[in-house]
Structure 1
């Protein structure tokens, strides 16, 4: 009999694997609604939905292996990274979903960033100079953008490749209108050496300064949440190291 593997678990949601089936348990059914609808709309490889019985969503495993992991070197080829860039471009060229989520306003995002930066310093989580420098870098991302259909949480572990081809993209619960460069930044967070490959596959002019700004912005926003939910942003190659690399 297949064993039950806990893929990820925290107070908001949990994902279990039993053989070739993933069971996603989420207290917020709106996230599951978004995930199911997004996977039905996007023209890119996604898992097959097997069944749904709230609060559980069952999906089939996708073939291949993850593109990489944060804090570890990726073994995927430059061609695979470029293929991911091409698939993301196809996603971003898809018409905006009529009902999925909403894009965070610029004022809202700026206010959230300023609150997190203050808490990181006040609570002694990070040195003030590290936060100040990365807040300066992040400013380049705080500009008007044209919303695109984005994945919204395109972490490297959410992308699967089989050889040099993309075999599946998972975890669509944050999908909706957003800044396309945020997707590219999330994918390459901690893997700056593969940014050129991704951009080559993406196939259009990309502002690298904005992507680097999103690396700082995403890391600043994530550190407190990660710590409170049992993850370690100070692990080698992870969010704190990303911030230090901007110094």
Structure 2
């Protein structure tokens, strides 16, 4: 008997299917999929077991536990789980650098200006909100010491086991050398109430203005892609709410 096939996420770039306890990731960019597999092999924290791999398909074993949370919804995980996540991310950031270099501050700033113009010209957000958010974003665009970052560390990509420990981290396609605070900001996007717990587990102080800056950067840059791929950045608690709250 064949298990039912569940479409987890699907858009023009990638599709993820679940078949029983196996996930199939189909990626139009075979090199990106190969880089994801290599990043998981390098990561010093739990990742999904790779069952098999073809040029454009990666088969992964399902992780145990439950997601740390989801954007737009309250996280029901404990402070201990958030602290454990912080400790795991610190271990990743302290690991030897991968060979892939992520975007630099100047490149991000140029894209940011383009996306801000697009948001205003299409009437998606008031000009005042966009201008203020761009000003907040400037704090993140400073020189940083490169770290091994996940690069897309959304709250739904971290799974927590029954002991409030990290069971595994998903979706490593954006892993590269980058700013460690970007990962921390991505994890707490829309969940600022858990930032202190995450930092407690991380084990060192962080510049909260930079975290806020990355919240703005990610929200501003993601909007067009989300809209064009059928997602809604204006859903409650999501990217546009984050930008509106940055007053």
TM-score (norm 2): 0.98
Specify the alignment match of 1:196 in structure 2: 196
Contiguous gaps of at least 5 residues in structure 2: none
**Whole-angstrom CA distance in 2 between matches of 1:201 and 1:208:** 16
Contact 1:233 1:239 in 2 (8 A): yes
SS in 2 for 1:154: coil
The alpha carbon displacement at 1:105 in A equals: 2.0
Counterpart Cα distance in 2 of 1:19 and 1:119: 41
Residue 87 of structure 2: aligned partner = 86
* Partner Cα distance (2:88, 2:16) in 1: 25
Rounded to whole Å, the distance in 2 between the matches of 1:201 and 1:93 is 14
Pairwise CA RMSD = 0.7
For 1:196 and 1:203, the matched residues in 2 are separated by: 11
Return the offset for 1:81: 0.3
Q: Is the 8 A contact 1:103 1:147 kept in 2?
A: no
1:170 aligns with 2:170: yes
Asked if 1:124 corresponds to 2:152, the answer is no
Aligned residue pairs, count: 245
Q: CA deviation at 1:106?
A: 1.8
Alignment-derived partner of residue 72 in structure 1: 73
Kept in 2, the 8 Å contact 1:155–1:186? The answer is yes
Could you list the per-position Cα deviations for residues 182-206 of structure 1 after superposition, in whole angstroms to 9, with x for gaps in the alignment? 0000000000000000000000121
Alpha-carbon deviation of 1:30? 1.3
Is residue 85 of structure 2 the alignment partner of residue 102 of structure 1? no
For residues 57-105 of structure 1, give each alpha carbon's deviation from its aligned partner in whole angstroms, at most 9, with x where no partner exists: 10000100000000101110000000000000000000101x3x21212
Separation of aligned partners in 2, 1:22 and 1:146:
34
Check whether the contact 1:135–1:216 (CA below 8 A) recurs between aligned residues: yes
Alpha-carbon distance in structure 2 between the residues aligned to 1:5 and 1:182: 31
* Separation of aligned partners in 1, 2:30 and 2:187: 26
Runs of 4+ in 1 over 6 A off after TM superposition: none
Question: 1:53 deviation in Å?
Answer: 1.5
Shift of 1:107: 1.4
Distance 1:147 1:22 in 2: 31
Contact map agreement 1:66 1:159 (CA 8 A) in 2 = yes
Alignment correspondent of 1:44 = 45
1:16 partner SS: strand
- Structure 1 counterpart SS, 2:148: strand
SS at match of 1:152: coil
Hey, what does 1:207 align to over in structure 2?
A: 207
Per the alignment, residue 221 of structure 2 pairs with: 221
